Amino acid sequence: MKLRRNRKLLGPLGHTGIERMGTMVLMAVLVLLIAVPPLLRRYAPRRTVSAVEQMNIAEFFGGLEPKPAEAIERPTRLDLEEVGPSRAPLAFTFDPNTISADSLLLLGLSAKQASAIVRYRVAGGQFRSPNDLAKLRAIDERTRQRLQPLVRLPATAGTTRAHSTAASAPSDQQAARPAHSISTPIATLELNTADTAALRQLRGIGPTLSQRIVEHRARLGGFRSIEQLAEVRGIKPDLIDRLRSQLSIDTALIRRIDLNTATLDQLRQHPYLTLHEAKGIIYYRSTMGRFSQPADLLRHKLVEPERYSKLRHYISTD
């Protein structure tokens, strides 16, 4: 009798009521875990990933890709001694017959290469065409090809001498005038071609400011107005007012950035673009195709309107 009563309590499977209840609860939980996720994926609202987030994700995972060992070049001791501290070379127009040694270093030349150009001039050599850079063994082929488009030479020596002789010979009317009545025109310095040595001749411009001006001009692509000197750290409005009559600007020398071919490095170095805007331009170009006109930056909100008003003079879609 007692055994029969115990079997009733245990049930057909030999479990107590509490054990049966626990089993059912566990099975219900398992069913929910299996059935609920598919339902949530099907009916839950989907969140769209913006273009900027996609760009950031792609950039993040791209940076995780390991570089092959053979692609990593280790500089030799000789390379480090010759090149010196690593620095991105600047690009600006120059006259090899007058450019100073420190400006040559800003162009990315090594101390040895800059010294070779200066020694060539001291020995009486003269650069009459951009191809004359090939005369110097210290200038390798790659550096020469990079510098040649930047070379700006004045008129030939013969033309210069003839012009100066004609200018120095006074006319009959001038000879008849008193010496004090002959006015001498004030020479101005062209801001887009002047090197650091020429800039240091201006009152108020020392070695530090002259180097900053050349560096800012190279990143900018050339000056459009004297007022842009205010963007150079250390130059105040009163100094610009004093220099105004001593400077001139040739806007034809401005270098423009091609939005369809420029690299991220080239874009991010421009003073009128932020790193985020430069990345946006590269991402838009890779996903949407070529830019048809510079105003596309404004139309697609890739650049702030205030910055675009200054940047538009330095970009193209050629």
Q: What is the pLDDT of residue 270?
A: 93
Nearest to 253 by CA among 99, 150, 148: 150
Q: Is the pLDDT of residue 216 over 60?
A: yes
- Write the DSSP symbol of residue 318: -
Q: Which residue has the higher pLDDT, 107 or 275?
A: 275
Instruction: Return the structure tokens found at 113.
Output: 């290469």
Q: Is the pLDDT of residue 225 over 90?
A: yes
Cβ–Cβ under 8 Å, residues 109 and 143: yes
> What span, in angstroms and rounded, lies between the C-alpha atoms of 227 and 178?
40
Cβ–Cβ under 8 Å, residues 39 and 31: no
Q: Is the pLDDT of residue 5 over 60?
A: no
What is the CATH number that goes with domain 188-255? 1.10.150.320
Domain 87-150 fold is DNA polymerase; domain 1 (1.10.150)
- Write the DSSP symbol of residue 44: S
Nearest to 266 by CA among 252, 244, 281: 281
Q: What is the pLDDT of residue 74?
A: 47
Angle between helices 51-63 and 275-288 (to 10 degrees): 100
Residue with tokens 């101005």: 188
Q: What is the pLDDT of residue 161?
A: 40
Q: Is the pLDDT of residue 280 over 80?
A: yes
Q: Which span out of 50-54, 88-92, 182-186 was modeled with the highest average pLDDT? A: 88-92
